[in-house]
Amino acid sequence: MTDQSSLLFDQFTLKGRQLANRFVLPGMQRGWSVDGAPTDTLTDYYVRRVKGGAGLIITESVAVDHPSATRSAVFSRLDEGTFEAWRQCVGAVRAAGGHILLQLWHEGAVRKDEDLGDGVVVTPTLSPSGLMAADRPRGRAATLEDLEEIKQAFVRSALLAQKAGADGIELHGAHGYFLDQFLWEQTNRRSDRYGGQSLPERARYPAEIARSVRAACGEDFIISFRFSQWKEIDLNARIAETPEELALFVSLLRDSGVDILHVSTRRFWEAAWPESDKTLAAWVRQLSGLPVIAVGSVGLSTDIMETAQGLESQSDAQASITLLDQGLQRGDFDLVAVGRGQISDPEWVNKVQEQRYGDIIAFSRKALGKLDGETDHMEGVPPKA
């Protein structure tokens, strides 16, 4: 197949929105927000990816309107104070012809308590069970009252995203953050209705958030849910042990109002379970009947965590496009996210469409720029301690 006839450049209709092609910019923290508000630099970065061909923009993780969501001012946040900046950012993306989802996020136990010096912790770090991993306590377990407040914070931020003109939101339930801490049995030891032995039991709280956002924002608003098996602190972690468990989980999300599932893997071609060569994205698409976004090392020889560990990558977009075309034809996924490839080259998608593979600016860790050392922890850069 030549790239001109590639299905990756077919349009895709997502809840009535016509996406120009199958390529997505996934959420990636850039450290370009000031006091939670996106700067012109961040807005320009998104607009350049729209002009460079990306059919759908997902913003970097944006903390919801709750004091425990994040403590860092360089991380984006969506509340009344940052709304106007987000309205302008979303407006610029839409004016350039793009579609945009805001990725709503809470750090959970990844966030560190903030001791203002007198031993008083003003906004305690909250998570399902006060755990970052089985042997890594941090902060405290959220009470049912805390959880209700945080749920309302997700809803408030989703309503603000809608008012800002976004096509929808993505719930960040991946990589070991708050919502994922519910899903993973190592970090969810609750004995109330939000805990349990099985994944569908542990998924009740994230599903309730999706249901509440749907009720508040109405039918036309897109809700994506991103999840992963792997965690930044445990690459071999699993939330679903079997396809049967996965089926119950994704059905719950679908029945709670989720429109599209973003299956975060580190390498898009890898099999989810040894018994079959089917990828996790392909399993999810088959089991949920929902559209699926695949992701992971498109065009690159290293995965995201190898980049975080300091390894440089070789680039080969053409080889990935051939594999992706086969996957799309098999019905393994609907959309594909290209992360680091589009960090280094805003024109990545257009260059692939024009088969200008040799012109693609190869990804290098230098493209991550000022992220290193900027905060105690940021996705895509190594956590310190």
Ligand X SMILES: Cc1cc2nc3c(=O)[nH]c(=O)nc-3n(C[C@H](O)[C@H](O)[C@H](O)COP(=O)(O)O)c2cc1C
C-beta closer to ligand X: residue 47 or 300 = 300
Q: How far is the CB of 345 from ligand X (least distance, A)?
A: 12
User: Which positions from 22 to 51 touch ligand X by CB under 6 A, shown as an x/- string?
Assistant: ----xxxx----------------------
Q: Which two tokens stand for residue 287?
A: 């089991």
Please give the Cα distance from 259 to 290 (Å, whole number): 7
In degrees, rounded to 5, the angle at the alpha carbon of residue 18 between the alpha carbons of residues 352 and 328 is: 50
**317-356 residues near ligand X, rule: CB under 6 A:** 338-341
Among 91, 101, 109, 92, which Cα is nearest to 47's?
92
**CB nearer ligand X, residue 41 or residue 143:** 41
- 380 touching ligand X, by CB under 6 A: yes
Residue 367 Cβ vs ligand X, minimum distance, rounded to whole Å: 9
Residue in 296, 317, 324, 347 binding ligand X, rule: CB under 6 A? 296
3-state secondary structure of 350: helix
What is the rounded CA–CA span in Å between residue 126 and residue 142? 5
What is the nearest approach in angstroms of ligand X to the Cβ of residue 341?
A: 6
CB of 135 closer than 8 Å to CB of 189: no
Least Å from the CB of residue 144 to ligand X? 27
Q: Between 137 and 382, whose beta carbon lies closer to ligand X? A: 382
Among 153, 174, 261, 281, binds ligand X (CB under 6 A): 174
Residue whose beta carbon is closest to ligand X: 380
Is 379 one of the binding residues for ligand X (CB under 6 A)?
yes
Selected catalytic residue, list 177, 194, 205, 357: 177
170, β-bridge pairs: 103, 224
Least distance (Å) between residue 180 CB and ligand X: 10
8 vs 178: CA distance, rounded Å: 33
DSSP conformation letters of 108-141: GGGSPP-B-SSS-BSS--EESSSEEETTEE-SEE
Q: In angstroms, what is the minimal distance from the CB of 173 to ligand X?
A: 9
Strand partners for 294: 336
Site for ligand X in 83-142 (CB under 6 A): 103
- For ligand X (CB under 6 A), the number of binding residues is 25
The one among 61, 129, 162, 288 contacting ligand X by CB under 6 A: 61
* CB nearer ligand X, residue 6 or residue 76: 76
Which ranges constitute the DSSP H helices of 3-124?
40-51, 83-95
Q: Measured between alpha carbons, how far is 60 from 75 in angstroms, rounded to an integer?
A: 9
Which CB, 157 or 195, lies closer to ligand X?
157
CA distance 80 to 73: 15
* Sole binder of ligand X in the list 111, 172, 214, 377 (CB under 6 A): 172
74 vs 141, which CB is nearer to ligand X? 74
CA angle 196, 278, 298 (to 5 degrees): 100
Cα–Cα distances in angstroms (integers) from residue 276 to residues 153, 242, 271, 290, 331, in the given order: 41, 12, 7, 21, 16
Q: Is 177 a catalytic residue?
A: yes
Taking only Cα atoms into account, the Rg of the chain, rounded to an integer number of angstroms, comes to 19
CA distance 113 to 247: 36
Min dist. Cβ of residue 320 to ligand X (A):
10
Angle between helices 83-95 and 40-51 (to 10 degrees): 20
Of 77, 204, 226, 231, the residue at the interface with ligand X (CB under 6 A) is 226
Piece of 43-51, 91-99, 142-150, 298-306 that binds ligand X (CB under 6 A): 298-306
**Residues 250 to 289: which contact ligand X by CB under 6 A?**
264
C-alpha separations of 162 from 87, 187, 216, 317, 343 in Å = 9, 31, 10, 35, 26
User: Closest CB to ligand X among 68 and 195?
Assistant: 68
List interacting residues with ligand X (CB under 6 A).
26-29, 60-61, 103, 172, 174, 226, 264, 295-298, 300, 304, 338-341, 368, 371, 379-380
* Active-site amino acid positions: 177
